[in-house]
């Protein structure tokens, strides 16, 4: 019922939000008569803020069009490699017409970034992806909004999450020989499970795992998130935060943990910070500080865009990770697609290097929660393990922003590079030849476009 009330309220607010957007422009456009009235700038700012508070926030785009690779601007093309019912494996392919640049791109390591499925879209890791693209071939898990997945696709469980990660790793291994895995926040647990199961079966495992700010052992330095999970029973979560998707969506009738509830939880953790941020936004508009106002818009366009999670996945995560601590207790069994059961044994991992990253001021995954992975992966040699604590960084600072780019990324890049096998002479020659052929094809294509453009211009002149 709550979900239906929320959708009714959102539908009711939509025309008022649209009206506020129009009114803001009328009072802000210099040529408008209303802009000449007293306090026009303040009125425009007020309407703009009202519009943003009432609008519906859709899934943002990654919007990464190019990156800098050793001083060369390289074009980035985003495409879907694998489309699963609840997730897409998205690739950011880089293009260049310079043979040396292409050679560098072909030599770089392959990294699978496993984005969190915890309320926000994978675009929350936009800065992570953009930075990683400087020195890596990058793939990311782009999770779908559960309310957009028809019931005919079945349910989504925590075990399915683990199987998705395994499938994506195998796909990259077949394509490139091997890969590195990087998990941010929530997926550190299912990623460690996936690699553990692969190791237990004797499968090839990734060259390295980078785990950032995740609840491997949620008993350590418990945060407000951890305490809530312990203070409420499994039945409480099932009875109070699980609702069915209302009519009007492809996933109508699916049991979900709604994104708007997760968003309310995010806001409730630091309400004064968000109030002050919106007040500052109003002041920036009044003062004409467009740069600061735009920074606010970009942040909240991302922060306010949330997705629903399948109820089975959400509830199983609560129980497995935050209530029963099955990973660290050694009692986590994952059900295979054929119905069999496998025990998650991180101690079976031998050939995958491990890097853990924590933020000193992380208020979501407390100190020591991610580092606990080292205690579980007992068979990984000490020289292939590393831990890094980011001084002065909160949760988001370890994967986005200045601290991520200047402090964390160099550590991640160097760790991956240290565990990337050197390319042999024959392989290097083959890559160089392929790079030269690709550059030649790009130049021919550009020449064709140029000639056709000249022909069109000649035809237009003749007409």
* Averaged pLDDT, 313-326: 96
Q: State the pTM of this model.
A: 0.88
- For residue 29, how many other CB atoms are within 10 A of its CB? 13
Instruction: Round to whole Å and give the CA distance between 441 and 430.
Output: 16
pLDDT band at 71 (very low <50, low <70, confident <90, very high): confident
Instruction: Round to whole Å and give the CA distance between 77 and 70.
Output: 19
Percent of the chain with pLDDT over 70: 91
Instruction: Round to whole Å and give the CA distance between 133 and 131.
Output: 5
pLDDT of 426 higher than 70: no
CB 90 within 8 A of CB 78: yes
State the Cα angle at 357 between 62 and 65, rounded to 5°.
Answer: 15
User: Furthest-apart CA pair in the chain: how many Å?
Assistant: 79
Q: For the chain, what is the radius of gyration of the CA atoms?
A: 25
- For residue range 148-162, list pLDDT tens digits in order: 999 999 999 999 999
Torsion of CA 17, 21, 26, 30, to 10 degrees: 160
Instruction: Round to whole Å and give the CA distance between 67 and 65.
Output: 7
Under 8 Å CB-to-CB from 411, ≥6 apart: which residues? 355, 357, 386, 388
Instruction: Round to whole Å and give the CA distance between 388 and 113.
Output: 18
Query: 306: which DSSP letter?
Result: B
State the Cα angle at 362 between 356 and 366, rounded to 5°.
Answer: 70
pLDDT of 219 higher than 50: yes
Over the chain, what is the mean pLDDT? Answer: 90
- For residue 291, how many other CB atoms are within 10 A of its CB? 7
**In sequence order, what are the beta bridge partners of 181?**
112, 209
Which listed CATH number (3.40.50.1820, 3.40.225.10, 3.30.450.20, 2.40.30.110) goes with 66-95+110-245+308-418?
3.40.50.1820
Both tokens of 411, joined, read 């550590």
Task: Please report, for the chain, the start and end positions of each structural domain, with discontinuous segments joined by +.
Answer: 2-56+259-303, 66-95+110-245+308-418
- For residue range 222-234, list pLDDT tens digits in order: 988 889 899 999 9
pLDDT of residue 438: 53
Instruction: Round to whole Å and give the CA distance between 75 and 94.
Output: 6
pLDDT of 417 higher than 70: yes
CB 254 within 8 A of CB 147: yes
Both tokens of 253, joined, read 């009738």
Query: 219: which DSSP letter?
Result: T
- For residue range 115-167, list pLDDT tens digits in order: 999 999 999 999 999 999 999 999 999 999 999 999 999 999 999 999 999 99
pLDDT of 374 higher than 50: yes
pLDDT of 29 higher than 80: yes
Q: Of 125, 136, 141, which is closest to residue 93 (Cα–Cα)?
A: 136
pLDDT band at 429 (very low <50, low <70, confident <90, very high): low
pLDDT of residue 462: 28
- For residue range 244-281, list pLDDT tens digits in order: 999 999 999 999 999 999 888 888 878 998 999 999 99
- For residue 294, how many other CB atoms are within 10 A of its CB? 11
pLDDT band at 447 (very low <50, low <70, confident <90, very high): low
């Amino acid at each position: 019922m709550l979900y239906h009330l929320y959708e009714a309220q959102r539908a009711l607010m939509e025309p008022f939000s649209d009206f506020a957007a129009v009114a803001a422009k009328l009072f802000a456009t210099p040529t408008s008569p209303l802009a000449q009235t007293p306090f026009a700038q303040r009125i425009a700012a007020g309407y703009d803020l009202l519009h943003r508070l009432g609008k519906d926030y859709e899934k943002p785009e990654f919007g990464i069009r190019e990156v800098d690779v050793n001083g060369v601007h390289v074009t980035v093309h985003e495409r879907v490699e694998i489309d699963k019912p609840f997730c897409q494996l998205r690739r950011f392919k880089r293009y260049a017409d310079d043979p040396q640049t292409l050679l560098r791109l072909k030599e770089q390591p392959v990294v699978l970034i496993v984005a969190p499925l915890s309320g926000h879209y994978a675009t929350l890791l936009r800065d992570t992806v953009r930075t990683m693209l400087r020195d890596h071939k990058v793939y990311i898990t782009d999770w779908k909004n559960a309310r957009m997945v028809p019931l005919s696709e079945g349910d989504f469980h925590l075990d399915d999450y683990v199987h998705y990660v395994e499938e994506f790793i195998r796909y990259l291994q077949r394509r490139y020989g091997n890969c590195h895995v990087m998990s941010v926040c929530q997926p550190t647990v299912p990623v460690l499970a996936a690699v553990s199961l692969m190791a237990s079966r004797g499968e090839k495992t990734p060259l390295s795992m980078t785990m950032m700010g995740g609840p491997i052992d949620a008993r350590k330095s418990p945060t407000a998130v951890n305490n809530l999970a312990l203070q409420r029973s499994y039945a409480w979560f099932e009875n109070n935060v699980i609702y069915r998707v209302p009519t009007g969506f492809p996933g109508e009738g699916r049991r979900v943990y709604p994104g708007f509830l997760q968003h309310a939880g995010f806001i409730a953790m630091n309400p004064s910070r968000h109030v002050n941020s919106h007040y500052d936004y109003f002041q920036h508009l009044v003062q004409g500080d467009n740069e600061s106002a735009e920074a606010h818009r970009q942040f909240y366009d991302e922060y306010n865009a949330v997705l629903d999670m399948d109820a089975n996945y959400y509830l199983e995560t609560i129980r497995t990770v935050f209530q029963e601590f099955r990973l660290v207790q050694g009692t986590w069994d994952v059900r295979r697609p054929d119905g069999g059961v496998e025990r998650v044994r991180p101690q079976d991992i031998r050939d995958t290097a491990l890097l853990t990253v924590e933020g000193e001021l992380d208020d979501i995954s407390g100190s020591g929660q991610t580092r606990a992975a080292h205690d579980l992966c007992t068979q990984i040699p000490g020289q292939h393990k590393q831990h890094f604590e980011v001084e002065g960084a909160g949760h988001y600072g370890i994967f986005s922003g200045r601290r991520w780019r200047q402090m964390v990324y160099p550590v991640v890049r160097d760790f991956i590079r240290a565990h990337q096998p050197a390319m042999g002479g024959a392989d290097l020659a083959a890559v160089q030849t392929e790079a030269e052929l690709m550059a030649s094809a790009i130049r021919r294509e550009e020449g064709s476009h140029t000639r056709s453009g000249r022909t069109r211009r000649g035809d237009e002149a003749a007409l």
